Chain A
């Protein structure tokens, strides 16, 4: 079928707990998401067949839309009147997603490239092995034996360089004889994407004991990363090996009209398309119960990280362990006994589906969410970096700015757009809560627009974008994004109460708002107009993106929250004394009308 014939699209995302189906229909020239349904995922016993949940979710769409899509267990294609759909696409993260182990010769070079390659393909990286990772050889071998990944990515060495380290890694791998997570009788798929000179030796060592696939080197030279060939191989193996072992997936693969994508890979595709279409630097986050995924596109470079143990239910206790109790307690506008907080978070961990029933309990979860978002972002910043080990050419004018290689690509001042998704951001009782949680966690600088993906449609749209970019972007703009508004945050520090910025906001219809922002304050200006302009003149020493003290005129988006003028300064820190901190928090939460009084 040609792309222009696409009128009715059905898409599902099979998550660990829920399978979500959406119906997309072409209305005039525009694609719109019209109905959605969901059902529990059926990968586990007693069903052990993912398609049962898919059919249940689609049946719900059928009931709501009145369109007959299924004929028994088959999708009716193409669409004809009120029957059928033109294409069915799906993503999947059920059964724990795609779990990989990666290896490289030098941790900060090929090890890191291999990690970026696997993460970008939508995998959870269980461990990164490297010749210089600080572990004794027998410890590395033990580690490979213990973990049961879905596949392994072996890299190391630049093309034509030394073969010793990568051959050594291959020998360790053979000695460990790792088993795949699913299907004990199958050989573990191993992708070799290292030094091309070592291909023969690696084959000799691993060909008989693993399902070895050789591809192009992902780091052919220190100056160049070539991640796509290995990423394509990861996707191929995901479909051919991993999915084939998962309950019901061979059936699901026959139902779809385009290859199934791992959910995070699809979200990554959608983030990239959105950034490219608008020429934006974008940060997207999906905070789930067990993991937090962070995606970024800065200067057209895409990066993804997944923090496998930062989440709001299954992993809530790990957020506490990693952030430390004081960092969680600092966001609470009341005092709470440490033992009480510990027990509350552990009780959420063991009963992960419970929800806050009181404002106080909600505030505890929001405090944890800020820390989970912050920690996952820290991890992202550490990996979203330029290539390390690259020789830099410097002219005499650069001599005083001695930057090392491997600087983070993330610049909060250049960040244009933040998209949040996941229950805690998408379903908070008041949208102001989602907006301030993201502002507190990321501390954006200058002008930053913020939105949420309220029903987590980005996976469906990412896989759809492979077939029709227009359909995916239409639905993304009109139905997926819930625009919260824009954050205006001058960078700099001053004494509390000092005027740090004069501001004026102009709505699309010409309505104007203006005032001055004082240090230590948050101002919330309702601003629903989807487009508008901000004209801001920061005080001396404060930067809005054009240098300290310089006026900035920027296009902004309004939304369900509006414009938030954050005068708390950057870098922003909370008061050290509990009484002042609690008073500040209460002042800011009141300014944002965040919680019922």
Chain B
């Protein structure tokens, strides 16, 4: 049977997921193999070396770099407090005395007789890594962290802003094509993962930040609003570190696009349950999409799907069109003609035929569809 490779976003009622939770530099692993962990449990932690500050002692004391050891009150490796005297000269007349104070608390790292600089290092900072998702530790990477395995609902968005967070799912709209408005949000949404429908505007997102909502999941947002929120244009889709006060997950794309009905129904079926979400997105080698994980089974599911999607598409598969002029339209693959076909732009490309619910059939470049995985 004809089939074509296509990328797709995962929207799965129940699957087994493994999450690697690793430190960027070696540290201590706190969770042992086989342990059941909660999302907020710390599984590993390390100490990040402190920031380095330089003080040009030679310039400050008006002496040659090679002379500074004679004026230093601290030697390499000594601890020092902020404002404590690091070096001083010894003039004959006391009034001409110059002292160099430490601008930070830390330790003296190096004293250079070539440049006359003294480098000071702030105390290390503790960097903890949380489990992020409720599950079981199935692998320990010594000195770096663990792999947590979890069973549950898994939904990928197309684009996100903001980092990892956690909270109870609260569906705030009645249907996937309803907008999430500022009025639709209230005090009860504090700390929750709020599910909207078609679109969330700037006012809605600002209201969510005010209320302390942990995350918003919605079909589409406008790029102009995103610029307003961040204060700059996102040039390359590498996100996850933004600090705007809320994590945003867009399931469909930029513009006013109703959330896929299947995604909306699945999220609604887990209303009131705790979820782990991450807005981190990276669209280059090593693609990373934003995600929503809800541990446990939805009410009507009793077994968990173990296989990962098959990675290609066949007639009968549901797909979404992801480029103008039919952006966002959902249909069923009718056929996959093998020959190159001329499309409206005059490019000769591989295409597929898509049946729409209304009975119409469209011819779409294969590059412009996304399989809806279930």
Q: Is B159 an interface residue (CB 8 A)?
A: yes
Q: Is A596 an interface residue (CB 8 A)?
A: yes
Set of chain B residues within 8 Å of A356, measured between Cβ atoms: 323, 345, 347
Set of chain B residues within 8 Å of A163, measured between Cβ atoms: 114
Set of chain B residues within 8 Å of A142, measured between Cβ atoms: 51
* B236 and A357 contact, CB distance less than 8 A: no
Min C-beta distance of B80 to chain A, whole Å: 16
Q: Restricting to B336-374, which residues have a CB under 8 Å from any CB of A?
A: 343-349, 364-365, 367-368, 370
* B323 and A357 contact, CB distance less than 8 A: yes
* A429 and B347 contact, CB distance less than 8 A: yes
* B345 and A141 contact, CB distance less than 8 A: no
Q: Which of B51, B322, B344 contacts A358 (CB 8 A)?
A: B344
Set of chain A residues within 8 Å of B325, measured between Cβ atoms: 357-358, 361
Q: Is B77 an interface residue (CB 8 A)?
A: no
Q: Which of B114, B224, B286, B344 contacts A339 (CB 8 A)?
A: B224
Give A464 to B24 CA distance when docked, in angstroms: 40
Interface size on B, residues (CB 8 A): 54
Min C-beta distance of A464 to chain B, whole Å: 26
Min C-beta distance of A150 to chain B, whole Å: 14
Give A343 to B365 CA distance when docked, in angstroms: 20
* A357 and B343 contact, CB distance less than 8 A: yes
Set of chain B residues within 8 Å of A321, measured between Cβ atoms: 232-235
Give the residue name and chain of the A residue nearest to B287 (CB): A44
Give A362 to B322 CA distance when docked, in angstroms: 15
Give the residue name and chain of the A residue nearest to B324 (CB): A361
* B52 and A429 contact, CB distance less than 8 A: no
* B51 and A342 contact, CB distance less than 8 A: no
Set of chain A residues within 8 Å of B117, measured between Cβ atoms: 137, 168, 171
- Residues 224-255 of chain B: 1 if any A CB is under 8 Å from the residue's CB, otherwise 0? 10110000111111000000000000000111
Set of chain A residues within 8 Å of B212, measured between Cβ atoms: none
Min C-beta distance of A336 to chain B, whole Å: 11
Give the residue name and chain of the A residue nearest to B253 (CB): A347
Give A300 to B117 CA distance when docked, in angstroms: 43
* A179 and B25 contact, CB distance less than 8 A: yes
Q: Which of B237, B324, B348 contacts A357 (CB 8 A)?
A: B324
Q: Is A507 an interface residue (CB 8 A)?
A: no
Q: Is B71 an interface residue (CB 8 A)?
A: no
Set of chain A residues within 8 Å of B65, measured between Cβ atoms: 164
Min C-beta distance of B35 to chain A, whole Å: 25
Q: Is A346 an interface residue (CB 8 A)?
A: yes
Min C-beta distance of A321 to chain B, whole Å: 4
Q: Is B7 an interface residue (CB 8 A)?
A: yes
Among A74-82, A309-317, A391-399, A444-452, the stretch in contact with B: A309-317
Q: Is A322 an interface residue (CB 8 A)?
A: yes
Give the residue name and chain of the A residue nearest to B112 (CB): A171
Q: Restricting to A154-197, which residues have a CB under 8 Å from any CB of B?
A: 163-164, 167-168, 171-172, 174-177, 179, 184
Q: Is B53 an interface residue (CB 8 A)?
A: yes
Q: Which of A96, A318, A338, A357 contacts B344 (CB 8 A)?
A: A357
* A355 and B110 contact, CB distance less than 8 A: no
Min C-beta distance of A489 to chain B, whole Å: 27
* B158 and A309 contact, CB distance less than 8 A: no
* A167 and B52 contact, CB distance less than 8 A: no
Set of chain B residues within 8 Å of A174, measured between Cβ atoms: 110
* B236 and A315 contact, CB distance less than 8 A: yes
Q: Is A30 an interface residue (CB 8 A)?
A: no
Give the residue name and chain of the A residue nearest to B328 (CB): A347
* B52 and A95 contact, CB distance less than 8 A: no
Set of chain B residues within 8 Å of A355, measured between Cβ atoms: 323, 345, 347, 349, 365, 367-368
Q: Is B284 an interface residue (CB 8 A)?
A: yes
Give A175 to B7 CA distance when docked, in angstroms: 43
Q: Which of B110, B285, B344 contacts A175 (CB 8 A)?
A: B110
Q: Is B283 an interface residue (CB 8 A)?
A: yes
Q: Is B84 an interface residue (CB 8 A)?
A: no
* B222 and A343 contact, CB distance less than 8 A: yes
Set of chain A residues within 8 Å of B364, measured between Cβ atoms: 357
Give the residue name and chain of the B residue nearest to A198 (CB): B114
* B345 and A175 contact, CB distance less than 8 A: no
* B54 and A137 contact, CB distance less than 8 A: yes
* A309 and B115 contact, CB distance less than 8 A: no
Give A361 to B327 CA distance when docked, in angstroms: 12
Q: Restricting to A272-293, which residues have a CB under 8 Å from any CB of B?
A: 290
Give A32 to B191 CA distance when docked, in angstroms: 66
Give A359 to B346 CA distance when docked, in angstroms: 8
Min C-beta distance of A231 to chain B, whole Å: 26
* B222 and A339 contact, CB distance less than 8 A: yes
* B283 and A314 contact, CB distance less than 8 A: yes
Q: Is A67 an interface residue (CB 8 A)?
A: no
Give the residue name and chain of the B residue nearest to A308 (CB): B236
Q: Which of A164, A309, A317, A354 contacts B368 (CB 8 A)?
A: A354
Q: Which of B54, B109, B285, B343 contacts A16 (CB 8 A)?
A: B285
Q: Is A352 an interface residue (CB 8 A)?
A: yes
- Residues 206-223 of chain A: 1 if any B CB is under 8 Å from the residue's CB, otherwise 0? 000000000000000000
Q: Is B119 an interface residue (CB 8 A)?
A: yes
* B346 and A347 contact, CB distance less than 8 A: no
Give A309 to B237 CA distance when docked, in angstroms: 11
Q: Restricting to B161-190, which residues have a CB under 8 Å from any CB of A?
A: none
Given contacts A171-B115, A321-B235, contact A314 B370 (CB under 8 A): no
Q: Is B270 an interface residue (CB 8 A)?
A: no
- Residues 195-207 of chain A: 1 if any B CB is under 8 Å from the residue's CB, otherwise 0? 0000001000000
Q: Restricting to A416-431, which residues have a CB under 8 Å from any CB of B?
A: 427, 429-430
Q: Restricting to B273-331, which residues have a CB under 8 Å from any CB of A?
A: 281, 283-286, 322-325, 327
Q: Is A138 an interface residue (CB 8 A)?
A: yes
* A314 and B237 contact, CB distance less than 8 A: yes
Q: Is A103 an interface residue (CB 8 A)?
A: no
Min C-beta distance of A175 to chain B, whole Å: 4
Min C-beta distance of A590 to chain B, whole Å: 16
Q: Restricting to A333-375, which residues have a CB under 8 Å from any CB of B?
A: 338-339, 342-347, 349-362
Q: Which of A171, A318, A338, A347 contacts B119 (CB 8 A)?
A: A171
* B285 and A317 contact, CB distance less than 8 A: no
Give A168 to B59 CA distance when docked, in angstroms: 14
Q: Restricting to A2-47, which residues have a CB under 8 Å from any CB of B?
A: 16-17, 43-44
Min C-beta distance of B18 to chain A, whole Å: 12
Q: Is B121 an interface residue (CB 8 A)?
A: yes
Min C-beta distance of B243 to chain A, whole Å: 16
Q: Pick the most buried of A142, A167, A322: most chain B CB atoms within 10 A of its CB.
A: A167
Set of chain A residues within 8 Å of B124, measured between Cβ atoms: none
Q: Which of B286, B344, B367 contacts A354 (CB 8 A)?
A: B367
Min C-beta distance of B279 to chain A, whole Å: 13
Q: Is B272 an interface residue (CB 8 A)?
A: no
Set of chain A residues within 8 Å of B7, measured between Cβ atoms: 353
* A350 and B222 contact, CB distance less than 8 A: no
* A349 and B237 contact, CB distance less than 8 A: yes
* A167 and B365 contact, CB distance less than 8 A: no
Give the residue name and chain of the B residue nearest to A318 (CB): B235
Q: Pick the most buried of B65, B255, B324, B370: most chain A CB atoms within 10 A of its CB.
A: B324
Q: Is B223 an interface residue (CB 8 A)?
A: yes
Give the residue name and chain of the B residue nearest to A351 (CB): B322
Q: Which of B110, B223, B235 contacts A171 (CB 8 A)?
A: B110
Q: Is B49 an interface residue (CB 8 A)?
A: yes
Q: Is A458 an interface residue (CB 8 A)?
A: no
Set of chain A residues within 8 Å of B158, measured between Cβ atoms: 350-351
Min C-beta distance of B237 to chain A, whole Å: 5
Give A164 to B53 CA distance when docked, in angstroms: 18
Q: Which of A96, A137, A344, A357 contacts B285 (CB 8 A)?
A: A96
Shortest 3 CB-CB contacts between residues of A and residues of B: A318-B235, A429-B346, A321-B233
Q: A137-B54, A168-B115 are in contact. List 20 more A-B contacts (CB 8 A).
A: A96-B284, A96-B285, A137-B53, A138-B54, A141-B52, A142-B51, A164-B115, A174-B110, A343-B223, A344-B254, A344-B324, A349-B236, A350-B237, A351-B322, A356-B323, A357-B345, A358-B345, A361-B324, A362-B346, A430-B346
Q: List 8 A-B contacts (CB under 8 A).
A: A137-B54, A342-B224, A346-B226, A346-B253, A349-B237, A350-B159, A351-B322, A355-B368
